[in-house]
Amino acid sequence: MLTQRSLRSAFGDARLVFLGLLQPVVLLLLFSQVFAGVGTLPGVAEYGGYINFLMPATMVNIAMTSAMGSGAGLLAETYTGVLGRFRRMPISLLSVLLARTLSDTARLAVQLAVAIVAAVLALGFSARGGVLGMTAALAVTLVVGWGLGWVFVALATWLKKPETMQAVTFIAVFPLMFGSSAYMPLDTMPAWMRAVSTVNPLTYAIDAIRALSLGRPVGMSVVLALVLALTTATLGATAATRNFRRSA
């Protein structure tokens, strides 16, 4: 019931739904054009164009944006008194947070589907992994997005102020995305950044989604991405529930 309520909230405002669907398309269009010249570099050309290299990273970027929205949405419900009413009800505090992350993951699935269709029809994205590979890539992205959602929910229950939350997410998101294999091959990076990228969890998520969607060798990338995402979700849920209970 809580998840249904969160879903109604997520899809109830037509303007927010439209903007949520438009954002990933705009991001994909901007990055594919700004970095179009990268498509001829070694390590990218083999993918058949920069859009093929970029699209999996954009999927993770969309998941990251959705996760940030989970934290922001939770703070909004705190200030409107919704969470206060839930605290007075005989329900698990974890279930309240779980409903938030699940509803946002459902919305993320719609955003990803729209972005994939736009990439194929308008930008020439070639999903060489076929329907099965693209479906697997979508599933991995959703798990990663769900795990990231718990991180930002935990941050929201800890920081409690929208301004502080915004500052922290800005500081965290850009280094995580640009300090990974998202936009450039690791071999083209300076040694110090390459070292940072190899310990960045998003690198493994992007590599896994890239391999699945483009029909390339997967290796251990999918296993690593899922293990890291589920570990992140577990730690985030534990921290969020503890913070939420303390503020009750």
pLDDT tens digit sequence for 128-152: 899 999 999 999 999 999 999 999 9
Q: What angle do CA 16, 18, 19 make, to 5 degrees?
A: 65
**Ramachandran area for residue 48 (φ above 0: left; ψ -120 to 50: alpha; else beta):** left
Q: What amino acid is encoded at 221 in this protein?
A: S
Q: How many distinct structural domains can be found in the chain?
A: 1
| 143: containing domain | 2-246
pLDDT tens digit sequence for 35-92: 777 777 777 888 888 899 999 999 999 999 889 988 888 888 777 766 666 666 656 7
Distance CA 102, CA 91 (A): 17
**pLDDT, position 235:** 96
How far the first Cα of the chain sits from its last, in Å, is 21
Structure tokens that stand for 183 in this block? 């936009």
> Which sign, positive or negative, has the C-alpha torsion 155, 160, 162, 164?
negative
Structure tokens that stand for 214 in this block? 């483009």
Per-residue pLDDT band for 8 (boundaries 50, 70, 90) equals: low
**pLDDT, position 200:** 94
**pLDDT, position 212:** 96
SS3 65: helix
Structure tokens that stand for 164 in this block? 């502080």
Distance CA 105, CA 145 (A): 7
Distance CA 62, CA 22 (A): 11
**Most confident by average pLDDT, 22-36, 111-125, 179-193, 220-234:** 220-234
